[in-house]
Amino acid sequence: MSAGFSLMELLVTIAVLGVVLTIAVPSFRDFLQNSRITNQTNEFVLALAYAKSEAVKRNLAVIVCSRATNATCAASTTWDDGWLVYADTNANGAPDAGEILQVRADLEGGNTLRAGASQSVTFNSSGFSPGVNNDTFRLCDDRGTALARAIVVSPQGRVISGIGTAACP
C-alpha cells in the first residue's frame, strides 16, 4: 500500500481549491477596500473633531489643511497627500514650529480626498468654522461614486459623513 496521493485526487483537490479561490478572492478584495475607505473616512472625521475640540479647549483657531510636507500646508483642494492639524497660536494662518498637533500622511490604496472649495478648515474658539459654506470632501477609491464617502463640514462646525453621496473626480 502506497502512502501518497493519486493523480486523480490531486486534480480534484486543485479544482476545488480553484473554485474556492475564485469565490473568495474578489470578496476579500472588496472587504479590504471597504475597510480602507471606512478607516480613512473615520480618520478624517476624527481629525476635524479633534481640531474643533482643541479650538474650544485652547480658545484659539485650530486649522486642518491639506499637507504638502509634515510642516507645511499644500494650499490645495486635493487632500490625497494627507493633512495637518495645527493650533494657530500667532494667528498667521500657517503652521509654525510647536503648533502642529497632528499629521496624516498620504492616503493608501490610491484613494483620493478632494474638497469642494476648501484648502483648509478653521475652527474658532467657539467651535464654529467661519468661511466654510457646507463644503463637501469626497473620499473615493477605484470603485467610483457608488461606494465613495462624502464628509460635509458646516459653518457651525458640524461634520457628517455618508456613503455613495459624493461624485468622484
Q: What is the pLDDT of residues 108-131, one digit of tens each?
A: 999 999 998 889 999 999 999 987
Average pLDDT over residues 37-62: 96
- The Cα 119–Cα 125 span in angstroms is 20
* Among 154, 151, 150, residue whose Cα is nearest residue 168: 150
Q: Are 136 and 114 in contact (CB under 8 A)?
A: no
Q: In the chain, what are the domains?
A: 29-163 (3.55.40.10)
Displacement of CA 118 from its chain's centroid (Å): 15
Strand, helix or coil at 23?
Answer: helix
- Confidence band, pLDDT 50/70/90 cuts, at residue 159: very high
Average pLDDT over residues 20-43: 87
- The Cα 153–Cα 157 span in angstroms is 6
Q: What is the pLDDT of residues 89-110, one digit of tens each?
A: 999 989 998 999 999 999 999 9
pLDDT at 51 over 80: yes
- The Cα 89–Cα 20 span in angstroms is 58
What is the Rg, in whole angstroms, of the alpha carbon atoms belonging to the chain? 22
Q: Are 124 and 100 in contact (CB under 8 A)?
A: no
Q: Are 150 and 161 in contact (CB under 8 A)?
A: yes
Q: Whole-number mean pLDDT of the chain?
A: 90
Strand, helix or coil at 168?
Answer: coil
More confident position, 135 or 90: 90
What percent of the chain has pLDDT above 90? 66
This prediction has a pTM of 0.84
Average pLDDT over residues 35-61: 96
pLDDT at 168 over 90: no
Residue 120's φ and ψ, nearest 5 degrees, are -160, 160
Q: What is the pLDDT of residues 72-93, one digit of tens each?
A: 999 899 999 999 999 999 999 8
- Confidence band, pLDDT 50/70/90 cuts, at residue 138: very high
pLDDT at 1 over 60: no
131-136 — which CB contacts under 8 Å span 24+ positions? 131/155, 136/166
